[in-house]
Every structure is written in C-alpha cells, then in structure tokens.
C-alpha cells in the first residue's frame, strides 16, 4: 500500500505540474490553440480519479468504480454506431450484462467470469434483435455490439478481477499495469508526432507509427525495470518482460480501436471530431493489456 500511495502521489504531482504549465502557457500565448492538449489533460484527471478508487480502496469500491468505467466506455462505443430503432433493445441488454459480469467477479466465480460474455452472451444476445425485428442489418448490428462487449466490458473487467484473484498484490498490479499502459501510449504519441515517418494505418490514425512503437517499447520496458520491485512480486526476468508484453499489447489495442472507430465513423466527420478526445481514446490500450497481462500472470504464477 505504501508503494501504491507513493506511485499515485508521483502521478498526481506530474498531472498537477503539467496542468499548471499549460495554464501559464495559455495565458502567455493566447493566440495558440491549446484546446486539444487541455481536453487530453482533463480526461487524464478523470481517469486518475477512477483508478485511485480502483487501487486505494477495498475491492468492492474498486469493483464499482471499474464497472462505471465499463459503462461509459460501452456507451461511448455505442454512440459511434449508426443505429436503428430495432437496436435499442439490444443495447439495453448489453448494459444489463455489465453488472452481471461484475457479479461473477464479486463472488469469485472465475469459470463463469471467463465464459459469460464470450460464450453465453455471444450465443443469446442476438435473440432480442431477431424477434419481431426482421433480418435487415442483423449481422452488422449484432457483430458490432458483440465487439463492443468484448472490448469495453470483458476486456476492461479484468482490471477488477486482479484484486479478487490476488488480494495481496492485486491493487499494486493494477497500478503497475495502468502506469505502464498509459506511459506507453504517451511515448508512442510523442515519438510518432516528432519523429514518426512510417505510418502503420494512415487512413485510421496517422499518430500510430513504427517509430512510435519502437520508442514506446524501449521506454516502457525501461520503466518496467525500475517499477517492478516496488509494485510487483516478479523477479528480474518477468519484471522486464512485463514492459515488453504491456507495450506490444497496448500497441495492438490502440491499433484495433483506431481501425474500429474509423470504420464506424466513416463519412461522419462531425461525430469523429466530437469523439476525438474521448475517454475511449485514453483506455483503448487497456482493453488489450488488461486481459493479456492477467492471463499470462495467472498461467505462470501461483499467487493468481
């Protein structure tokens, strides 16, 4: 807990410093547009509050805070979809899936937690869309909805399971994962912005480059080397390897969500601009790093 408090304090001071610097720059250079950076900082503060609840308090408070995060992530995802009236009932059932998924975490039923959305929800969710709603647009609406549930609910819900799977190390592992994931995103963005020339998917996200990937991989692995003794029970090898795993998984998450958003928002530039600095942009990597890191730890370590 002491290590967690120290880490959160450092993050808080870092965010506060950046906020003050941007406020001063905005006053001094009023002609420059700092709106994009300010919105990004604002979303970071919101995420910081959520993750404080997820790491500092008892597992039930953590569970509820992450459940709220999943709800808003799914809501934001649905807002990008071109929907019909027939899809509304489908969305309602999707929202009802969230508390059920987190209930399995609360009672520690790992078997149901791991198959509920990928198996049972996958098989039965299409039924409300089929009954009395016809076949027009069935495959597109159901498949996109299930993609949203897998990423925004199933993937992110793993963050809540850490503390139930290992009460001793759960909160510090969550913090370790979040810090590395978010730092990986920031470094990737900065390297791509200033040095990136080889874009991976320029049509979806010009900020995803191979230079950014390599720079973020090296930096995240280095930070993992310094952080793992304080926040994890890992040895040297896996402490360093954690940075590699989180960096690669985070890169795949950002890439996937970028392409997914591009497909959903094609020919809708107004909505694309409105969602440009959304919370979904800040947690896209976590939809991949959370489950991948969780299952690797669970497979190789007895404390999970």
Q: How many residues does the chain have?
A: 304
State pLDDT tens for residues 157-179.
999 899 888 888 888 888 889 88
State pLDDT tens for residues 133-162.
666 777 888 888 898 899 999 999 999 899
State pLDDT tens for residues 206-241.
778 889 899 999 999 999 999 899 889 999 999 999
d(CA 35, CA 211): 26
- pLDDT for the residue 279: 58
Cβ proximity of 148 and 125 under 8 Å:
no
- Is the dihedral angle over the CA atoms 39, 41, 46, 47 positive or is it negative? positive
- pLDDT for the residue 153: 94
- pLDDT for the residue 225: 94
Extents of the domains making up the chain:
72-163, 166-304
State pLDDT tens for residues 182-203.
888 878 877 887 787 888 877 7
Query: Which has the minimum average pLDDT: 80-84, 162-166, 266-270?
Result: 266-270
According to DSSP, the β-strands at 199-201 and 205-209 are antiparallel
State pLDDT tens for residues 237-253.
999 999 999 999 999 99
Helices (H), the chain: 2-28, 35-56, 59-79, 88-106, 110-115, 122-124, 126-130, 138-148, 156-165, 170-195, 210-231, 236-264, 269-274, 279-283, 286-300
Q: What percent of the chain has pLDDT over 90?
A: 31
Which residues on adjacent β-strands are paired with residue 205?
A: 201
């Amino acid at each position: 807990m002491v290590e967690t408090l120290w880490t959160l304090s450092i993050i808080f001071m870092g965010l506060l410093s950046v906020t003050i610097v941007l406020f001063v720059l905005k006053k001094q250079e009023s002609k420059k547009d700092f709106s994009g950076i300010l919105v990004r900082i604002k979303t970071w503060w919101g995420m910081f509050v959520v993750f404080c609840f997820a790491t500092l308090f008892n597992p039930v408070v953590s569970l509820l805070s992450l459940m709220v995060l999943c709800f808003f992530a799914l809501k934001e995802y649905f807002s990008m979809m071109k929907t019909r009236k027939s899809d509304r009932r489908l969305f309602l059932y999707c929202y009802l899936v969230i508390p059920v998924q987190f209930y399995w975490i609360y009672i520690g039923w790992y078997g149901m937690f791991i198959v509920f959305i990928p198996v049972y929800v996958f098989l039965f969710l299409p039924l409300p869309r089929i009954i009395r709603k016809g076949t027009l647009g069935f495959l597109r609406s159901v498949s996109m909805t299930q993609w949203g549930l897998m990423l925004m609910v199933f993937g992110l819900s793993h963050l809540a399971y850490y503390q139930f799977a290992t009460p001793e190390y759960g909160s510090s592992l969550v913090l370790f994962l979040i810090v590395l994931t978010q730092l990986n995103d920031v470094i990737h963005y900065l390297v791509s912005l200033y040095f990136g020339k080889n874009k991976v998917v320029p049509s979806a996200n010009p900020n995803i480059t191979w230079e950014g990937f390599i720079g973020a991989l090296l930096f995240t692995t280095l930070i993992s080397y310094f952080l793992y003794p304080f926040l994890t029970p890992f040895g040297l090898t896996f402490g360093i390897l954690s940075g590699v795993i989180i960096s690669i998984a985070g890169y795949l998450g950002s890439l996937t969500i970028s392409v997914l958003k591009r497909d959903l928002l094609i020919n809708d530039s107004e909505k694309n601009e409105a969602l440009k600095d959304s919370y979904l942009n800040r947690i896209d990597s976590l939809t991949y790093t959370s489950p991948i890191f969780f299952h690797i730890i669970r497979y190789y370590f007895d404390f999970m």
